[in-house]
Amino acid sequence: MKQPLETPAANFDPLAVPVKLRVTPAAARHLASLGIETVGDALNYAPRRYYHWGKLTALSQLNEGEEITVLAQVISARLVHNRSGKGVRFLVGITDGSSELTVTFFARNEYALTHHQRLLQPGETFLFAGKVSEYQGNLQLVQPSFEEIEADSEQSVERRRGRPIPIYRAKASVPSWKIAGLIDQIMATVNWEQVPDPLADPDGGLGQRHSLLSLSRAYQLLHQPEDDTDWQNARRTLAWVEALTLQTSLLQPRVQADLAGTHRSRPLVPGQGEELVERLIRGLPFQLTGGQLEAWQQISSDLEGTSPMQRLLQADVGAGKTVVALLVMLRAVENGQQAALLAPTEVLATQHLASIQRLLDLSQVEVPLHLLTGSQPASARENTLMHLAGGEPSLVVGTHALIQDGVEIPNLSVLVVDEQHRFGVSQREHLRQGRDPRPHLLVMTATPIPRTIALTVFGDLDVTAMRELPAGRTPVQTHRVPQENPVWMARLWQRAREEIAAGGRVYVVVPRIADEAEPAAPGVPLPSVDAVAAQLRAEPALAGIEVGIAHGQAKPEENARALERFARGEAPILVATTVVEVGVDVPEATMMVIWGAQQFGLSQLHQLRGRVGRSDRPSVCMLVHPVALNELAEARLQALVEHSDGFALAEVDLRLRQEGDVLGVVQSGGRSSLRFLSVRRDGAIIAAARTEAERILAEDPQLEQHSGLAREVDRVRGDQVRWLASS
Ligand code: ADP
Ligand code: MG
């Protein structure tokens, strides 16, 4: 009987072929040492940069340190064993007719230079490119790139001079030219027709709309460009592949779940029984801002649907996200449901509980409100757990303790996650997984993040940006204070005294808790909580004023107590680490001193500054730092002085960062999936790829017509991209 025909061609993936089937075993070992195992790895091994054959230099006019290109004929070539017995040198004498020069290649043994010895034969003409150096009084070229030129062929010289030479990340044992040779060799074996193309659209529209190459063409031009435009286009196409793959992998689960109806939420509609939302809004001592109203409108219409809300609320510090979160939670209670707010720290959870209680009291809205944290007394915890498990309509605020096993919230229909960057997606999803109906989700950021980042990291969320601040806020005046200047420092503490005398509170934030026995870096040690608190207690200008402390190694209840005494004005100076960074709300605070400000990231500084200016009283922020700063720290502090808008600062922050400091990739295996895409530069690509991904998934949710894309999505699935929030 005839076996059913296998169709290897359909599943065959030329990129998955091991390179050892394509090159010699020795070459395969070299490639493996660079992390190249498959044909795909080799193609994705992008040149670090491209070398350009420069204008031809005459050998008689060389200067040390110059990057030159010379067209010259080999006149001698000899291999020399180093005296030490280790390593060899290959010395090549060249001439351009006017002068002579020595070109030197080093290697561990002569075999590594076989290629050179074979090519660089006396009489042959080459283009050499490299940097002129001096050795024992003579100029020479060490390890230059070189290319053979058909003698006297002007055309050939011109053509080669126009072509960029790819330079790869290399090792002594595997130099760049060798990698280039092996990649060329591997490319020659690829059947390009068979390479699955993630950008291939059944109607071919995508590539056309965005002027992209096919994946095959992109690989060819990446490694074998004829000119600079070639590799630039190639990199752009490859960045698109990554952006589209990322967006598709982020959006697909949601689209599929919607389609399958597996993730259904309980619609939360207004006007069910008690109108808590209405009553809260009416009872508040202030008008909601236009931004708050707009955000609430978007959110409440999400809540009315049966597909779960997944929304990110972006707003500046002090914009009033808590009220919006409370409205969402009350809508759940109105519908007889439970709602939870997840906070990253105990301080924040306690703080949220207090501000929510205050808002409820102000509006005379009575709703059961619970707290769940790890450090609660057992009896309080048991009590909360019991109430939650009972399923009565209520609100709960908590830390990670909320997502531990044994916590039952049977009627949970709204989850608000504050300061999302501190949680992984899996933590955030823990409370929603396997629940039917599925809770609606609202994620709130501590400060705005650039849209590019939001799309990359929170790509599965819809984004609401709340740009307006409550009326009557005076922007916080921000000043820089050089810490070496005793007059300014004395003036600083005098100012602190004045703020406190006028009913204000003063935060002093420092980068460390205690002094280290040995400072990590030479120079002025960084200020610590212990040292600064001691100094301020002895400061004449602050005589009679109590100084409290708070930091991450203190017991949560000690910190909570210090904050309470601070809020009440009993200890109106608080020396602390960044435990006060997020969310802490003491409206009386009017002065923020950040000592060692150069140590903090821009969003952190902005977040810290946001702890003051929370009432109609003018506030100040003092950035205390050493006079001598590096360029980046200088730029960060200056940006903070100049901008008060968090959305603007977020964009500055992104520009100032190194690519590597922008995203972290939390991985389930393999290495980073982002090689060509730059979240710093490629905002436009990311936004456009998002739109294309939405379209593709709407037309083809299972990606049946997009097999190339499906393959890439499978490959990167499990990668989790994370925004690195600090400097
Ligand atoms: P954040 O967005 O940083 O979390 P909060 O929710 O803590 O900001 O709000 C900051 C302060 O502004 C709180 O004291 C809050 O009561 C107050 N607030 C919120 N909305 C308004 C408003 N529309 N008008 C006046 N004050 C408001
Ligand atoms: Mg907040």
- Of the ligands numbered here, which is closest to the C-alpha atom of 343? 2
**What pLDDT sits at residue 7?**
44
Which residue's CA is the closest to the ligand 1 atom numbered 19? Answer: 320
Side-chain half-sphere exposure of 268, counting CA atoms within 13 A = 34
Winning range, highest mean pLDDT, from 115-119, 160-164, 505-509, 524-528: 505-509
Q: 691 or 517: which carries more pLDDT confidence?
A: 691
- Of the ligands numbered here, which is closest to the C-alpha atom of 417? 2
**What pLDDT sits at residue 421?**
59
Q: What are phi and psi of 57, to 5 degrees?
A: -110, 145
Rounded to an integer, what distance in angstroms lies between the CA atom of residue 200 and that of residue 192? 14
User: Residues of the chain with pLDDT > 70: what percent?
Assistant: 91
- Lowest mean pLDDT, pick from 456-460, 490-494, 586-590: 456-460
Which atom of ligand 1 lies at the shortest distance from residue 323's CA?
A: 6
Tell the residue number behind the tokens 């190339």, with chain if given.
708
Averaged pLDDT of the chain: 88
CA 600 to chain CA centroid, nearest Å: 16
| Ligand 1, residues at Cβ distance < 6 Å | 286-289, 292, 315, 317-323, 470, 583, 585, 587, 614
Residue 6 has pLDDT above 50, yes or no: no
Q: What dihedral do alpha carbons 491, 493, 494, 496 form, nearest 10°?
A: 130
Which atom of ligand 1 lies at the shortest distance from residue 287's CA?
A: 23
**What pLDDT sits at residue 656?**
87
- Site to probe by mutation for ligand 1, drawn from 286, 328, 352, 468 as the one with most ligand atoms within 8 Å of Cβ, is 286
**What pLDDT sits at residue 10?**
54
User: What pLDDT digit, counting tens, does each position of 193-252 carry?
Assistant: 999 999 998 888 999 999 999 999 999 999 999 999 999 999 999 999 999 999 999 899
Residue 519 has pLDDT above 60, yes or no: no
Contacts by residues 633-636 (CB-CB < 8 Å, ≥ 24 positions apart):
633/598, 636/598, 636/601, 636/602, 636/605, 636/727
**What pLDDT sits at residue 188?**
95
- Of the ligands numbered here, which is closest to the C-alpha atom of 347? 2
Is residue 92 exposed (0-12), middle (13-18) or buried (19+ Cβ within 10 Å)? buried
Report CA Rg, the chain: 32
Tell the residue number behind the tokens 């939650």, with chain if given.
388
Which residue's CA is the closest to the ligand 1 atom numbered 16? Answer: 320
> Bridge partners of 576?
509, 550
**What pLDDT sits at residue 138?**
87
Q: Strands 138-142 and 440-444: what pairing?
A: unpaired
| 26-43 average pLDDT score | 95
323 CA distance to ligand 2 centroid (A)? 9
**What pLDDT sits at residue 453?**
85
- Site to probe by mutation for ligand 1, drawn from 284, 323, 611, 615 as the one with most ligand atoms within 8 Å of Cβ, is 323
337 CA distance to ligand 1 centroid (A)? 25
User: What pLDDT digit, counting tens, does each position of 535-558 carry?
Assistant: 999 999 999 999 999 998 998 889
Please provide the distance, in angstroms rounded to a whole number, between the alpha carbons at the two ends of the chain: 68
User: What pLDDT digit, counting tens, does each position of 611-670 carry?
Assistant: 998 888 899 999 999 999 999 999 999 999 999 999 999 999 988 887 777 777 665 544
Q: Strands 67-81 and 145-149: what pairing?
A: unpaired
**What pLDDT sits at residue 135?**
87
Residue 120 has pLDDT above 80, yes or no: yes
**Residues contacting 645, CB < 8 A, separation 6+:** 316
pLDDT class of 525 with cuts at 50, 70, 90:
confident
691 CA distance to ligand 2 centroid (A)? 31
**What pLDDT sits at residue 4?**
44
User: What pLDDT digit, counting tens, does each position of 311-328 carry?
Assistant: 999 999 889 999 999 999
Packing angle of the helix pair 228-260, 683-699 (nearest 10 deg): 40
Determine the residue type at 599: Q
Is residue 193 exposed (0-12), middle (13-18) or buried (19+ Cβ within 10 Å)? exposed
- Lowest mean pLDDT, pick from 124-133, 364-373, 659-668: 659-668
- Site to probe by mutation for ligand 1, drawn from 585, 607, 609, 612 as the one with most ligand atoms within 8 Å of Cβ, is 585
Nearest to 692 by CA among 200, 178, 162, 138: 200
User: Residues of the chain with pLDDT > 90: what percent?
Assistant: 57
- Of the ligands numbered here, which is closest to the C-alpha atom of 324? 1
499 CA distance to ligand 1 centroid (A)? 22
587 CA distance to ligand 2 centroid (A)? 13
- Of the ligands numbered here, which is closest to the C-alpha atom of 418? 2
Residue 8 has pLDDT above 80, yes or no: no
Residue 151 has pLDDT above 80, yes or no: no
232 CA distance to ligand 2 centroid (A)? 43
**What pLDDT sits at residue 717?**
78
Determine the residue type at 459: G
pLDDT class of 423 with cuts at 50, 70, 90:
low
Is residue 252 exposed (0-12), middle (13-18) or buried (19+ Cβ within 10 Å)? buried
Contacts by residues 77-83 (CB-CB < 8 Å, ≥ 24 positions apart):
77/117, 77/120, 77/121, 77/122, 79/110, 79/113, 79/117
**What pLDDT sits at residue 522?**
55
Residue 465 has pLDDT above 70, yes or no: yes
**What pLDDT sits at residue 272?**
66
Which atom of ligand 1 lies at the shortest distance from residue 325's CA?
A: 6
Residue 150 has pLDDT above 60, yes or no: no
Which residue's CA is the closest to the ligand 1 atom numbered 17? Answer: 320
CA 522 to chain CA centroid, nearest Å: 30
**What pLDDT sits at residue 362?**
92
Rounded to an integer, what distance in angstroms lies between the CA atom of residue 619 and that of residue 609? 10
**What pLDDT sits at residue 157?**
62
399 CA distance to ligand 2 centroid (A)? 14
318 CA distance to ligand 2 centroid (A)? 7
**Residues contacting 315, CB < 8 A, separation 6+:** 291, 295, 321, 444, 445, 448, 465, 466, 467
**What pLDDT sits at residue 687?**
93
**What pLDDT sits at residue 662?**
72
**What pLDDT sits at residue 2?**
42
| 673-682 average pLDDT score | 86
User: What pLDDT digit, counting tens, does each position of 678-687 carry?
Assistant: 888 899 999 9
Rounded to an integer, what distance in angstroms lies between the CA atom of residue 677 and that of residue 43? 16
- Of the ligands numbered here, which is closest to the C-alpha atom of 314? 1
pLDDT class of 50 with cuts at 50, 70, 90:
confident
Is the peptide bond between 122 and the residue preceding it cis, with omega within 30 degrees of 0?
no
Stated length of the chain: 727
**What pLDDT sits at residue 549?**
96
Nearest to 280 by CA among 324, 310, 248, 243: 324
pLDDT class of 675 with cuts at 50, 70, 90:
confident
- Site to probe by mutation for ligand 1, drawn from 296, 316, 322, 355 as the one with most ligand atoms within 8 Å of Cβ, is 322
Which atom of ligand 1 lies at the shortest distance from residue 585's CA?
A: 7
363 CA distance to ligand 1 centroid (A)? 15
pLDDT class of 724 with cuts at 50, 70, 90:
low
Tokens of 375: 């450090």
